[in-house]
């Protein structure tokens, strides 16, 4: 019986593998044209066109529907001026609508043109929310295919799932019958007796080796206690904390590659207690013009679109609406309420760089908490950091106060900065 079931199992697995290979080859063949078209589109079209929005030329969504003659559309792609001079009214109107901008000639084969049009159709048929993030998933666009292909592939996948369930059921039946055969032959009973004897012998070993067991328990308790102490010591220490932000802002790109000074965005760090999070208007100083379209099939970067959405900004008309929404950033570096930290005191007075506490932010695609920010860490830094008092007004006051004390004169709190508002109000 076990032999026949094994044969059935092998045949089922082979059938499943053959069917899976068929599905994969079928899906690959149906998506091949779209993949070819995607390559052509990225290499030749994204400078002037996008599928779902107007760039230099018109949006290409439904271009196959706007041209009644598909053959004429192919001729227009290969050489637009020839079709215009040939008297086609739609081509001539399109040329005038875009102020006589001449579309360059191309030398695509007929198969390549079919692939290009298939890719444009596949991108245009996507739902709006999928099309908005199409650039970040460009490698999967070709797998959609036509509606008929999707339903066909879905049916085959369902058939594969049914076969998998059948194989699982057969395996369970096979296992149950094998256990019945072993029980009949006495194997299960023998194995049970053997296991009981092994457990009893282990218990006897523990009774006969009490010293070894004692030292094992001592070592175990020592290791466990050390581990527990370490875990408790690190409660609320959030080193490495890296939440997912609503907008994927890359410090590596802005502070590292583009070398934008930290003070441009975090101006508060050099003149106040808080470093401050820059408003989106600061972002728009650059992103009014920088839209990052080259990696997204001619579409605007999805992350920059989030800024536009929050500000209700229309990049085509360059106008702002009234339906604004704040971006809910997640705080990363956070001290307890009883701890007071002043950014300007460290950056302006002490002259420390931001990386001293925040780590190499210029190399971080997404910022995370680099330092532990514990009391011990701060104290160790204060012990090691040398104070440079030359040309520092604060330390000049201290030196002057010491001279006053030497001369027996009265030194007041006001002389040491006691009238500054932040001494009490922070």
Listed by start position, the domains of the chain span: 2-150, 186-235, 251-384, 393-423
Out of 33-37, 186-190, 197-201, 313-317, give the one with best mean pLDDT: 313-317
Mean of all residue pLDDT scores within the chain: 79
How far is the CA of 34 from the CAs of 11, 63, 120, in angstroms? 36, 16, 8
Segment 306-335 shows an average pLDDT of 92
Label residue 2 by pLDDT band (50, 70, 90).
very low
**Which residues share a beta bridge with 255?**
none
Q: How far is CA 270 from CA 226, 261, 275, 319, 425, in A?
A: 42, 12, 8, 33, 18
Q: Which two tokens stand for residue 225?
A: 């206690």
| Distance from the Cα of residue 395 to its chain's centroid | 47
Retrieve residue 124's tokens: 């245009």
Q: For residues 200-209, b (16+ Cβ closer than 10 Å) or e, as one string?
A: eeeeeeeeee
Phi, then psi, of 280 in degrees rounded to 5:
-65, -20
Please state, in angstroms and as integers, the Cα–Cα distance from residue 345 to each residue in 63, 269, 273, 314, 385, following that order: 61, 9, 8, 41, 14
- Lookup result for tokens 């299960």: 188
- Go through the chain and tell me how many residues it has: 426
**331-344 pLDDT per residue, tens:** 999 988 888 899 99
Please give the residue that has the higher pLDDT: either 119 or 4.
119
Q: pLDDT: is 155 or 200 the higher one?
A: 155
For residue 256, pLDDT over 60 is answered with yes
Neighbouring-strand partners of residue 320: 313
Evaluate if pTM is beyond 0.85: no
The class (CATH top level) of 2-150 is: mainly alpha
């Amino acid at each position: 019986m076990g032999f026949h079931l094994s044969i059935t199992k092998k045949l089922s697995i082979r059938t499943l593998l053959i069917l899976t290979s068929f599905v994969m080859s079928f899906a690959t063949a149906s998506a091949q044209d779209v993949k070819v078209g995607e390559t052509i589109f990225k290499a030749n079209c994204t400078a002037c066109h996008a599928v779902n929005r107007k760039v230099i030329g018109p949006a290409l969504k439904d271009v196959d529907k706007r041209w009644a003659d598909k053959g004429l559309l192919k001729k227009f792609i290969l050489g637009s001026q020839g079709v215009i001079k040939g008297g086609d009214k739609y081509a001539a109107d399109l040329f005038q609508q875009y102020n006589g901008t001449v579309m360059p000639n191309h030398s695509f084969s007929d198969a390549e043109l079919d692939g290009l049009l298939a890719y444009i159709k596949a991108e245009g048929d996507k739902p709006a929310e999928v099309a908005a993030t199409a650039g970040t998933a460009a490698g999967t666009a070709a797998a959609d295919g036509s509606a008929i292909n999707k339903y066909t592939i879905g049916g085959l996948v369902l058939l594969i799932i049914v076969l998998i369930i059948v194989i699982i059921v057969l395996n369970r039946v096979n296992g149950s019958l094998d256990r019945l055969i072993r029980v009949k032959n006495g194997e299960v009973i023998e194995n049970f007796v053997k296991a009981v004897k092994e457990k009893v012998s282990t218990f006897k070993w523990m009774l006969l080796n009490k010293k070894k067991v004692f030292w094992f328990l001592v070592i175990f308790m020592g290791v466990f206690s050390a581990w527990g102490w370490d875990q408790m010591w690190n409660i609320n220490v959030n080193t490495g904390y890296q939440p997912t932000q609503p907008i994927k802002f890359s410090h590596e790109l802005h502070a590292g590659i583009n070398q934008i000074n930290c003070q441009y965005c975090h101006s508060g760090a050099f003149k106040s207690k808080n470093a401050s999070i820059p408003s989106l208007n600061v972002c728009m100083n650059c992103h009014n013009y920088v839209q990052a379209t080259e990696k997204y099939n001619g579409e605007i970067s999805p992350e920059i679109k989030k800024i536009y959405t929050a500000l209700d900004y229309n990049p085509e008309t360059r106008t702002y609406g009234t339906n604004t929404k704040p971006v809910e950033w997640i705080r990363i570096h956070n001290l307890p309420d009883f701890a007071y930290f002043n950014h300007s005191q460290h950056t302006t007075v002490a002259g420390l760089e931001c990386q001293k506490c925040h780590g190499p932010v210029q190399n971080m695609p997404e910022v995370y908490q680099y330092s532990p920010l514990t009391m011990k860490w701060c104290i160790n830094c204060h012990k090691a950091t040398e104070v440079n008092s030359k040309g520092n007004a604060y330390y000049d006051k201290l030196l002057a106060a010491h001279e006053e004390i030497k001369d027996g004169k009265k030194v007041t709190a006001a002389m040491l900065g006691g009238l500054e508002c932040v001494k009490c109000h922070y």
